[in-house]
Amino acid sequence: MGSVKQVQVTFDCAEPERVARFWCEVLGYVVPPPPEGFATWDEFDRSLPPERQGASFACSDPTGVGPRLYFQRVPEGKVVKNRVHLDVRVGTGLVGKERIAALEAECARLIPLGAVRVELLVSDDENESCLVMQDVEGNEFCLD
């Protein structure tokens, strides 16, 4: 059996394009080109049956290193804490006040994009400081 070469992270959400574009800004990801024969994603979307329009969106790491992110519309809203979340690595190698400053600076950049600050978890004997946030639909993620 071969090893896994790529991973896609899938988000259930109400507004796939809105959430995807948020994560593009957070991670520096890009929206891939539309399918062949379509000038834009809007044009492609309009070609779908009404019930499938706006049902999904994706973004990818322009370097090809990070996983593809896929966003799919689901009818139910978010009701509990995420069982899986993304850690956005902005403080790697930093400790103490320098790390917290890096976390706070990234938090300040993301709030105007629609992110919500939840809680700063200060370092202890086992973990470095991290900042818990929520994306535009309330999905938790950490700045660490």
Amino acid in the structure at residue 62:
P
Q: pLDDT tens, 42-57? A: 999 999 999 999 999 9
Mean pLDDT on 81-97: 89
Counting Cβ atoms within 10 Å, is residue 92 exposed (0-12), middle (13-18) or buried (19+)?
exposed
Tokens in use for 143?
């700045």
Local structure of residue 135 (DSSP, 8 states): -
pLDDT interval class at 78 (50, 70, 90): confident
Tens of pLDDT, residues 20-44: 999 999 999 999 999 999 999 999 9
Q: What number of other Cβ atoms are within 10 A of residue 21's Cβ?
A: 19
- Classify burial at 118, counting beta carbons within 10 Å of its beta carbon; exposed 0-12, middle 13-18, buried 19 or more: middle
Say how many C-beta atoms besides its own lie within 10 A of residue 36's C-beta.
Answer: 6
pLDDT in tens, 94-128: 999 999 999 999 999 999 999 999 999 998 888 89
pTM of the model: 0.87
